[in-house]
Amino acid sequence: MPEAHLPELPVVLIEEAIRAALIEDHGLAGDVTSQATIAPDAKATAVLDCRETGVISGLPLARAAFAALDPSLKFEMLFADGDTVEPGADVAKISGNARAILGAERVALNYLCHLSGIATHTARFAKHIAHTKARICCTRKTTPGLRAFEKYAVKCGGGANHRFGLDDAILIKDNHIAVAGGIHEAIEAARFFAGHLIKIEVEVDTLDQLREGLKAGPDVVMLDNMSLHQLREGVAIVDGRISIEASGNVDLDTVKAIAETGVDMISTSKITMSTKTLDLGLDIAID
């Protein structure tokens, strides 16, 4: 396995997301409490600290939140996205204008805690299957507006990404097969439509469907809601010709056994939705 680079979020997406989040949190009047009680030129020092073990994700968003309010704030990263941190670890230090630090705090933390929660949960799955060739991957079940960031967090946690939208890969399900007149017809139509740079995955529920589907030459096959026994048989049938994705009933208790069947990918929405946020906080001292 090559040493993998971490993904990098598009700069423009970060800027837009922070701008929108600040508008949401500051409304038309901004941080009225700080305006009432803290002098405009007061300075502060803050430490972003982690209060439980987890994998960090979202530091570029946090940094951008502080920079958006005051480009002269000093933001020192002590860890990087993808790092595992222990309780009590200082993740970053921020110093400069007090109002700016207080005004960006919640936006920075809301992103950071949410994404680190996803990275941390993904890492738990990844650890369970590290002894196999299988990888854990996400789905399109993401929080609306945050897909780019949540898919990024999955990679920070050691997971892989499924398609990003309806447009960048073909995923043929039962409805498409029914309308197209069969699994072969559906894949043929997809291949012609999609061209040579889009992968075609077909979802099958039975081993018979799998055998039929393989003949039409998809790039990936999804074995949906199959038993471990079926998965193993599926792996034997495919015999390394294409990638196999297992889906359905994936959780921390089942993932190891699924991975050991020999599949390549295990997809689940559990790593992007329903994850607990990682507990990070900002300790601010006003000078």
CB 63 within 8 A of CB 75: yes
- 265 touches a copy of itself (CB under 8 A): yes
Using CB under 8 A, pick the residue from 170, 204, 214, 238 that binds a copy of itself.
Answer: 170
| x/- letters, 178..217, toward a copy of itself (CB under 8 A) | xxx----xx-xxx-xxxxxxxx-x----------------
In the chain, what's the furthest Cα-to-Cα distance? 72
C-alpha to C-alpha distance for 286 and 98, rounded to whole angstroms: 7
CA distance 214 to 225: 18
Site for a copy of itself in 137-166 (CB under 8 A): 137, 140-148, 151-152, 160-166
28 binds a copy of itself (CB under 8 A): yes
* 245 scored as a contact of a copy of itself (CB under 8 A): yes
> How distant, in Å, are the alpha carbons of 84, 117, 193, 196, 218 from that of 189?
45, 40, 6, 13, 11
Asked if 35 touches a copy of itself (CB under 8 A), the answer is yes
Give the helix/strand (H/E) hosting 85. Answer: strand 84-85
Amino acid found at 1: M
To a copy of itself, the closest distance from the beta carbon of 114 in angstroms equals: 6
Q: Which residue in 175, 220, 174 sits closest to 194, CA to CA?
A: 220
As measured in angstroms, the least distance from the Cβ of 73 to a copy of itself is 12
Shortest reach from residue 58's CB to a copy of itself, in Å? 10
Q: Which stretch binds a copy of itself (CB under 8 A): 84-92, 204-212, 229-237, 276-284?
A: 276-284
Shortest Å distance, C-beta 144 to a copy of itself: 4
Length of the chain: 287
Neighbours of 128 (CB within 10 A): 20
284 belongs to the binding site for a copy of itself (CB under 8 A): yes
Q: Which residues are catalytic?
A: 106, 141, 173, 203, 224
| 94, 111, 158, 231: residue in contact with a copy of itself (rule CB under 8 A) | 111
